[in-house]
Amino acid sequence: MGILFNNKLSFNAHVEKVCNEAYKLLGFVIRNTREFRNFNALIIVFNTFVRSKLEYASIIWTPYYKQFINKIERIQNKFLRYLYYKIFRINSYQERVSYNTLLKIFGISSLATRHELLQLTFLYKLVNGIIDSSECLKLLNFNTKAVNLRSRLLFNCNRSKTIAHSNSPVTRMCQLFNKLAPNNVDVDFAMPYSTYVKTLKYNPRLL
């Protein structure tokens, strides 16, 4: 799959590689869209060439250290500031427009949020057999005693002994689902896939 990691299961080198490639692609996009006037078309081009690079197989390598999360977000931040200038002819830094404000203006989610959505949709597909992986399914630890507990968490996430294990893909998916749907009401695997995705997007507990 082209994912880099070391003997400690760290994906930091992969994040660096992906960011470097994404910056080059962003430069290509900016150089070749100077005559564009439709900002929706610009967003589509960015998503196709740059964001897709930052999301490919991200359920495996999504960073958990703040410095690497910020490194990824800076790429989209740079694009949105370019977009802001093209539309309003104003330097967003001079206007002190924050990254979060830019996200709201253009109706775009942060890359960290999109990574979480990708993890949760993968979990849905795994549980419902849309993705056929018995090995991954075996790693899910359902909390069968949840019915008798005040905390009705669907997954039992035991305390990990290592940082690598606590941030492994399946563990992070289960922890994230528990955080979003502690009572199994807001998000439900019995929902149709389209409803599940829509519910996630409007869940206030998501990043």
Say whether both 124 and 181 belong to one domain.
yes
Tokens describing residue 17: 């590689």
Does residue 2 belong to any structural domain of this protein? no
Tokens describing residue 203: 């869940």
Say whether both 53 and 93 belong to one domain.
yes
Say whether both 81 and 132 belong to one domain.
no
Helices (H), the chain: 12-32, 39-46, 52-55, 58-61, 66-88, 99-106, 111-127, 134-138, 163-166, 169-180, 193-201
pLDDT in tens, the chain (207 residues): 688 988 777 899 999 999 999 999 999 999 999 999 898 999 999 999 999 999 999 999 999 899 999 999 999 999 999 999 999 999 998 889 999 999 999 999 999 999 999 999 999 999 999 999 999 899 898 887 655 555 568 888 877 777 777 888 889 999 999 888 655 445 678 889 998 888 887 776 665
Would the pTM count as exceeding 0.85? yes
Does residue 135 belong to any structural domain of this protein? yes
Does residue 5 belong to any structural domain of this protein? no
Q: Is 141 left (phi over 0), alpha (psi -120 to 50) or beta?
A: beta
| Number of separate domains in the chain | 2
Say whether both 18 and 88 belong to one domain.
yes
Say whether both 164 and 80 belong to one domain.
no
Determine phi and psi for 32, rounding to 5 degrees. Answer: -100, 5
Contact indicator for 141, 155 with CB cutoff of 8 Å: yes
Give the range of the structural domain holding residue 166, as residue numbers without chain letter: 114-201
